[in-house]
Structures are given as structure tokens and as C-alpha cells.
Amino acid sequence: MLNFKNITGPNGLLKDLGRKDHTPAFGALDILKYIGPGLLVTVGFIDPGNWAANLATGSGFGYSLLWVVTLSTIMLIVLQHNVAHLGIATGLCLSEAATIYIKPRISKSILSFAVLASVATSFAEILGASIALDMLFNIPVKVGAVLVTIFVIIMLLSNSYQKIEKWIIGFVSIIGLSFLYELFLVDVDWAVAGVSWIKPSLPEGSMLLIMSVLGAVLMPHNLFLHSEVIQSRQWNLQDEKVIKKQLKFEFADTLFSMVVGWAINSAMIILAAATFFRSNIIVDELPQAQSLLTPLLGTSASAIFAVALLFAGIASSITSGMAGGSIVSGMFREPYDANDNHSKIGIFVSLIGALAVIFFVKNPFNSLILSQVFLSIQLPFTVAIQIYLTSSKKVMGKYANSLYMKILLSLFLALITFLNLKLLSGFL
């Protein structure tokens, strides 16, 4: 639970904001105190849905689509910093600000769509963790899904944000070290990988996976989540110097965390390219990827793969549940609080709704990829309201987007929309 205090932000609104009633000293090591909110976002885009998209991408197209991870991460850094800017400058999360400043018919429609995106996100996270339990302990996927859901709900309802943040940092560390270890076991063509990171290419038949990777990195629920949890690092917002320093330290946290996510997502594609693509093996199931790693890299690699998947699923389920709670509580103009009924409704809708869907899916791997495509389709709507709110002087005061930032964000929105339309046209 976030322990918030009422305080007036630049827009004159009172909001429970969970910050200490003093002005902090910003020393050279103070940035370490700010590392955390960004990592919650990071774990959201190294979730099992990303694993499915990245493994399918690397096994099917080798290194050639690494540029999608680079492009989406650059866009992610800007979007996440911008939405964190909203939380710091106004004391409102994205959902609250949309409810207050956008016409109810529009805000309720977009936020309801965002709740569905949170369900789709939780679906991928819970399913991935349950697949990992099946790999490790032969627990049936549906039984594992129930166990994961119960565990995540207990974590969310019984732990403070600060404790959850420490768990998340630990989970991200385990995932990152796991892939670093596995990369040491394979023969990577780093020259080709280096070019592919920066050189766009569109291999025939790759559009679905491009959109899947895009939706897996640029996740709508993370925009809502970041604008909420960043407030745990705030102090007296009536001091302009403090706000500016907040924004600087927040950007450092965001940049560091997103680069970590870029490295882990890239490592997944590189691992798949260096093992499966090289052997002409197309991965279409997560357990298949684990079993195929054994003859290629040894039993330790396959075990580490499954353990990392389990931690990724649990950690990202926690963040998607928090995001669902933040979106719903924001619709009632309230901050996220796991003890509040509106936040609880959002948590349960996101997690229990995802669990229900798992009982009806027939092809888990394809469902994971399609869930990421759904996130990509929802993304333009969330980005559009974000741009509107962060560009409004009524909302942001003197901290409204500059002309340069408006243009940059609008270009991102246009690109995301174009890619979505291109994907849809392929189905028609």
C-alpha cells in the first residue's frame, strides 16, 4: 500500500501522493534511491509475452528484426519519461488525469479499453509463469495458473509498494543474469547483430512479429503504472527546484531501466537466432524452446531458461495487477491503494479475468503472441490521451510539453498507428 499525504501540486489539485514532508538533499549517490519505478516498467516488457514474441522472431528471422527492439526502446524511453513527468508535475496518474480533464465519454471508453489491455497483459504473464511451473515441476498449466494468480494476489494485497519494488529488482536481476549466462554458451555473430540493431528490414511474413515485439515493449499498462509508482519518489512539489531535480533523477532511472530491458529483450532474440535459426528450427512453444536448448547448450541452460521464465511471469503479473488497480482507481479519481475497494476491483479484474481466459485457450504460444498484438492495437489510444494531457498547460502548468516534445510524441503516435493499420490491412 502506498502511504500518501495530501499536498497541492502545480495544478492546484489536492492528491494523496506518498512523499515525505521535507526537501531532500540530492547528492551524487542519491540517484540510487530513485532506481526502482523504472524497473517495474522494465519487468513489464520482459514478460512471457515478450519471450514468445522474441523467440519466434529470433528463430524465424535470425538477427534481422533486432532493430524493432532498438526502435521500440527509444520510443519507450521518451514515452515513459513523459508520463512520469505527468505524475511528478501534477501528482496525478494517467488514469486520474484522463478522468479529470477529458470528457467522460472519451475517457471512460479509452480507460475501459486500457483495462482490457491490462487483462491481456496479465494473461500473458500468468500463462508464462504456469508454463514454467509445468517445465520445472510437471504441474499442469491450468493448475499452475491458479497457483500463480493466488500467489500474486497475496503479494499485492499484503505487501507495501516498497517491498514489492525490492522483489521486482531481485526478479529482474535473476532474469538478466540468466540470459547473460546463456549468451556465453552460444556462438553469436556480433557483427551481424550490431548491424541489425540499427538497420531496419522487413522480411516477408514478418509484420505480425514486428507488431508483436512492438506491443511487447511498448505496453499500455506500463504508462499508467509508471505515472502512479513514480510518486513514491516525490517530495514537496511546491518547490520548483525539487520538481526539476525529480525530473532529472527520474529520467536517469527510466534510461537505466529501459536499457536493461533492451539488453534482455535483445539477448532473447540473439539466443534464438544463434541456436534455433542457425539450426533451421522454428520455435512455436515455450516448452519446445527449453527442450531444444538441452542438446544445444546443455541441461543447465534449459533449467535456467525455465527458472527465468517463472520469475519473469510472477514479477510481471504483479506489475500488471498494480496497473489494473491504478487504471480503475483513477477512473474514480483516486490514487492506487491495494487496501481500497476500487484498486482491489482493478487488481481482481486484471488477474482473475486473465485466469478465466487461460482456461479457454487451445494454443498457448500463439495466444501469447496475439496478446502482444492486442496491446499494440490499444497503444495508440493511450498514447493519444497522454500527449493531450502532457501538452496541456491547464493540466501541466509550466511543465507542459515543449513544441519539440509535442512533435516527437506525435511522430511516435503516427508511426504506431501506421504500423497497426499496416498489420490490419494484411488481415483484410
- Identify the residue with better confidence: 303 or 106: 106
pLDDT in tens, 204-237: 888 878 877 876 677 888 899 888 888 765 544 5
Report the SS3 class of residue 337: coil
Asked if pLDDT for residue 37 goes beyond 80, the answer is: no
**Over residues 400-407, mean pLDDT:** 95
Residue 222: per-residue pLDDT: 85
Tell me the pLDDT band of 270, cut-offs 50, 70 and 90.
very high
Distance (Å, whole) CA 76 – CA 98: 20
Contact 125, 50 (CB under 8 A): no
Residue 150, number of CB atoms within 10 A of its CB: 12
- Please tell me the pTM assigned to this model: 0.82
* Amino acid present at 40: L
Contact 183, 267 (CB under 8 A): yes
Contact 214, 68 (CB under 8 A): yes
Asked if pLDDT for residue 25 goes beyond 80, the answer is: no
Residue 17: per-residue pLDDT: 37
Alpha helices in 184-219 (DSSP H): 190-198, 207-217
Domain locations along the chain: 26-427
Distance (Å, whole) CA 274 – CA 366: 22
Asked if pLDDT for residue 331 goes beyond 90, the answer is: yes
pLDDT in tens, 140-159: 999 999 999 999 999 898 86
Residue 23: per-residue pLDDT: 45
Residue 10: per-residue pLDDT: 44
The residue written with cell numbers 484522463 in the block is 98
- List phi, psi (to 5°) of 304: -65, -40
Tell me the pLDDT band of 428, cut-offs 50, 70 and 90.
low
pLDDT in tens, 73-127: 999 899 999 998 898 888 899 999 999 999 999 999 999 999 999 998 899 889 9
Report the SS3 class of residue 16: strand
The residue written with cell numbers 501541466 in the block is 396
Per-residue DSSP letters for 266-309?
Answer: HHHHHHHIIIIITTT-----HHHHHHHHHHHH-HHHHHHHHHHH
Superfamily of domain 26-427: Amino acid/polyamine transporter I (1.20.1740.10)
**Over residues 247-253, mean pLDDT:** 77
Asked if pLDDT for residue 345 goes beyond 90, the answer is: yes
Residue 6: per-residue pLDDT: 39
Contact 97, 20 (CB under 8 A): no
* Amino acid present at 188: V
Q: Comparing 41-50, 277-286, 390-399, which segment has the lowest mean pLDDT?
A: 41-50
Quick one: what percent of the chain has pLDDT higher than 70?
Answer: 81
Contact 373, 219 (CB under 8 A): no
Residue 104: per-residue pLDDT: 94
Distance (Å, whole) CA 169 – CA 44: 12
Of 96, 9, 94, nearest in space to 329 by CA: 96
Tell me the pLDDT band of 374, cut-offs 50, 70 and 90.
confident
407 Cβ contact partners less than 8 Å away, ≥ 6 residues apart: none
- List phi, psi (to 5°) of 153: -60, -45
Contact 331, 110 (CB under 8 A): no
Mean pLDDT of the chain, nearest integer: 81
